[in-house]
């Protein structure tokens, strides 16, 4: 497993130690790993979302594709037992 070395200010270190103390991470390294995983996942989701937006901008839905969606949605809701 690779190792990263970084410097953080005292405030951030105290916040990380608090996360460890509260049991959100098992160690400082675990907290950093969780944070990096969250950052990578957030960026991945952003890229996917942007790809979807770009595709819709390039090929927007037309009225034929949208026709009947409201009616179909209402029918699905009406089928619910609430």
Residue 6 pLDDT greater than 90, yes or no:
yes
**Alpha-carbon span 18 to 28, nearest angstrom:** 10
Q: Rounded CA gap, 20 and 40, in Å?
A: 21
Tell if the pTM clears 0.75, that is, is over it.
Answer: no
Taking CA 23 as the corner, what is the angle to CA 19 and CA 26, rounded to the nearest 5 degrees?
85
Burial of 53 (C-beta count, 10 Å sphere; 0-12/13-18/19+): exposed
- Tens of pLDDT, residue by residue over 34-69, are 999 999 999 999 999 999 999 999 999 888 888 888
Rounded to the nearest 5 degrees, what angle is found at the Cα of 10, between the Cα atoms of 5 and 12?
70
For position 65, what pLDDT does the model report?
83
Q: Is 34 left (phi over 0), alpha (psi -120 to 50) or beta?
A: alpha
């Amino acid at each position: 497993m690779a190792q990263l070395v970084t410097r953080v200010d005292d405030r951030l270190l105290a916040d990380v130690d608090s996360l460890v103390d509260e049991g959100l991470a098992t160690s400082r390294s675990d907290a950093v790993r969780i944070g990096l995983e969250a950052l990578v996942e957030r960026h991945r989701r952003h890229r996917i979302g942007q790809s979807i937006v770009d595709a819709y901008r390039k090929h927007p839905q037309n009225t034929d594709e949208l026709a009947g969606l409201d009616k179909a949605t209402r029918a699905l809701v009406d089928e619910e037992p609430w």
